């Protein structure tokens, strides 16, 4: 069974640029959730995708967008990067259903300069 | 809105001893789940234990157990026989009942295990 994977591991971007982060869900899972974890904080929910549709969104501006593909992998796109976007971005996959546990990937560390 | 509070930013324990991490939460829901996640320096969030709100029995996973006090909205994690590998950030998380709901996390407790 393959776990959740994310790419890249680290990246550095300049303010105003755009970035795409990728996530492959665990085998058998059909739901992907994205979280932002600022340094020294707990993860904050960005949004969730189920069957290629956005299925819930946290308090993040529209410049945070996502996609889910037919194989349930997902992308997180952030436009017009700001310094405060520097964080660890975590992807979690789960199987839709009551009490479905979320399994996390290792994260992507984004630094905006 | 649901909130999760971890009042201990840092805790330390001697190897082989027992430590308890605290967590309180606020919700008006009756159906929900609570979790403890461990995040070592490698960054990967690992599920330690989960508790269904409708279950009165406290969950246990080997050396990890919880004290779930539903009326008090308290959900503490007890680690017995602490090991050096237990050193990590520990996050308490809440999830409302239902299909595909988000996790709400606390700010975390950094656990240090002293040899």
Question: What's the pLDDT tens digit per position in B12-70?
Answer: 999 999 999 999 999 998 889 999 999 998 788 999 999 999 998 999 999 999 999 99
Q: pLDDT (tens digit, 9 = 90+) per residue, A29-82?
A: 889 999 999 999 999 999 999 889 998 899 999 999 999 999 889 999 999 999
* Chain B residue nearest residue A42, CA to CA: B107
Average pLDDT score over residue span B83-92: 97
Chain B positions touching A94 (Cβ under 8 A) are 100
Distance CA A38, CA B79 (A): 26
Q: How far apart are the first and last CA of chain A?
A: 38
Identify the band that residue A16 occupies on the pLDDT scale cut at 50, 70 and 90. Answer: very high
**Whole-number pLDDT of residue B42:** 79
Strand partners of residue A33: A48, A92
Is pLDDT of A1 > 60?
Answer: no
Residues 6 or more apart whose Cβ sits within 8 Å of residue A82? A15, A112
Q: Residue A18 corresponds to which tokens in the numbers above?
A: 């755009």
Question: With contacts defined as CB-CB under 8 Å, which chain A residues touch B105?
Answer: 42-44
Omega before A84 cis (within 30°)?
Answer: no
Question: So what's the pLDDT on residue A98?
Answer: 60
Residue B45 near residue A90, CB atoms below 8 Å = yes
3-class SS at A108?
strand
Residue B41 confidence (pLDDT): 87
The per-residue pLDDT for B20 is 98
Query: Which of A6, A88, A93, A102 best tests the B interface by mutation, with the highest count of B CBs <10 A?
Result: A102
Whether A4 has a pLDDT exceeding 90, the answer reads yes
Separation between Cα atoms, residue B23 and residue B1, nearest integer Å: 17
* The pLDDT value given to residue B56: 86
pLDDT tops 80 at residue A102:
yes
* Cα separation, A83 vs A90, whole angstroms: 18
Q: Give the pLDDT confidence score for residue B68 in this predicted structure.
A: 96
Supply the pLDDT for residue A27.
85
Residues of A in contact with B44 (CB under 8 A): 104-107
DSSP conformation class of B84: G
Where does the pLDDT of residue A92 fall: very low under 50, low under 70, confident under 90, or very high at 90 and above?
A: very high
- Is the pLDDT at B86 greater than 70? The verdict is yes
């Amino acid at each position: 069974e393959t776990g959740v994977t994310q790419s890249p591991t680290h990246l550095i971007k300049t303010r105003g640029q755009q970035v795409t982060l990728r996530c492959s869900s665990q085998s058998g899972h059909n739901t992907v959730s994205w979280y932002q974890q600022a340094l020294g904080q707990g993860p904050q929910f960005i949004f969730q995708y189920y069957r290629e549709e956005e299925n819930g969104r946290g308090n993040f501006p529209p410049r945070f967008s996502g996609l889910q593909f037919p194989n349930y992998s997902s992308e997180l796109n952030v436009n017009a990067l700001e310094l405060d976007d520097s964080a660890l971005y975590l992807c979690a996959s789960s199987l839709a259903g009551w009490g479905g546990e979320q399994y996390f990937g290792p994260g992507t560390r984004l630094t905006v300069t | 809105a649901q909130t999760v509070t971890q009042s201990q930013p840092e805790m330390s324990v001697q190897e082989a001893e027992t430590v308890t991490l605290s967590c309180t939460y606020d919700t008006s829901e009756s159906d929900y789940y609570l979790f403890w996640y461990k995040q070592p320096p490698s960054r990967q969030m690992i599920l330690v234990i989960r508790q269904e709100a409708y279950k009165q029995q406290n969950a246990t996973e080997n050396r990890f157990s919880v004290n779930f006090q539903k009326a008090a909205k308290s959900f503490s994690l007890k680690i017995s026989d602490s090991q050096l590998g237990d050193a990590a950030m520990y996050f308490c998380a809440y999830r409302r009942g239902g299909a595909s709901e988000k996790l709400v996390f606390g700010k975390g407790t950094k656990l240090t295990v002293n040899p």
